[in-house]
Amino acid sequence: MQKYYFNIKYEFNKETVHKQIARQLKKKNSDYICVADGVILSIANRKPEYLKVVNEGMFSICDSGYVPLYIRWIHGIHYEQYCGSQIFMDIVSSKKYRMFFMGTSKETLDGLRQNLVKINPAVTDMTFLELPFRKVEEFDYEGIAKTIEADGADIIWVALGAPKQEIFMNFLKPHLRHGIMIAVGAAFKFFSGNEEKRAPNWMLDIHLEFAFRIMQAPKKQLARCAWIIITLPRLIYQEWKRNRKR
């Protein structure tokens, strides 16, 4: 059973995440999983309608290296980060599922396909769909759902950036009869070899990935970090108060 921390419905156990995916795929409906980093945590706790979207999915995995630290300080419970690029590569390399990849540019998708085929040759025959640049309310969700269902995909990867990709999955869900959507943000770019790179392991180990991202895209990332810094003290205090009441 997932637990709520900082108002987000998290699942931290990797084995449970994959068991839940397998279980859901046996059902005759669709669902989605969010990959909640510090940006999503900040936006969700400032915008109630977005928090509702995030928590209406199956659960969120934790793409923040700091949230497990805060939980350990407040609750004394040890959890580990499970980021979007990790679940993406775990599922691709497992070779268990037919997948559908959508979002970002054709150049990124082409690079992604080329690199993923080396890991999972079956990716050669899978669909990579570039989505037009438009407001999240303006997509043809019924048409997209028909394309996915004709493909027969089990896992639908969505890379539109937060908060757009989570809202996109929420809008698409009622039109899909099968499959699990997973929003993976920059993972397409990481593995395409054409654009952004992920921080080196030593930076990940000491929780400095945010610094690497700031160096990659200073204007974008500094604005995001500013909101996280503004939101975080209140969230930590509220979580501490909830724990005291328990």
Read off the pLDDT of residues 110-160 as tens digits, 9 standing for 90 and up.
Answer: 999 999 999 999 999 999 999 999 999 999 999 999 999 999 999 999 999
**Count of residues for the chain?**
246
pLDDT tens per residue across span 151-196: 999 999 999 999 999 999 999 999 999 999 999 978 998 899 865 5
Q: CA-CA distance, 120 to 69, in Å (whole number)?
A: 34
> Is residue 232 domain-resident?
no
pLDDT reported for residue 136: 97
Is the confidence at residue 211, as pLDDT, over 70? no
Rounded distance between C-alpha atoms, residue 146 and residue 176, angstroms = 8
Which range of residues forms the domain containing residue 160?
A: 3-198
Domain count along the chain: 1
Residue 187 lies in a domain: yes
Determine what percent of the chain falls in helix, strand and coil, rounding each to the nearest 5. 55, 15, 30
Q: Is residue 197 predicted with pLDDT exceeding 70? A: no
Dmax (CA) for the chain in angstroms is 54
State pTM to two decimals.
Answer: 0.88
Question: In which region does residue 86 sit, left (phi positive, over 0), alpha (psi from -120 to 50) or beta (all else)?
Answer: alpha
Q: 194: Cβ–Cβ under 8 A, 6 or more apart, which residues?
A: 107, 108, 111
pLDDT band for position 246 (cuts 50, 70, 90) = confident
- If phi over 0 gives left and psi between -120 and 50 gives alpha, with beta otherwise, what is residue 171? alpha
Res. 29: pLDDT tops 80? yes
Contact 11, 127 (CB under 8 A): no
Q: What is the pLDDT of residue 164?
A: 97
pLDDT of residue 81: 93
Q: Residue 180's beta-bridge partner residues?
A: 31, 155
182 within a domain of the structure (yes/no) = yes
Query: Rounded to an integer, what distance in angstroms lies between the CA atom of residue 139 and that of residue 148?
Result: 14
Model confidence pLDDT, tens digit, residues 52-96: 999 999 999 999 988 999 999 999 999 999 999 999 999 999 999
Q: How confident is the model at residue 2 (pLDDT cuts 50, 70, 90)?
A: confident
pLDDT number for residue 203: 55
Specify whether the CB–CB gap between 136 and 16 falls below 8 A.
no
212, part of any domain: no
Statement: residue 26 has pLDDT above 60: yes
Residue 199, pLDDT score: 58
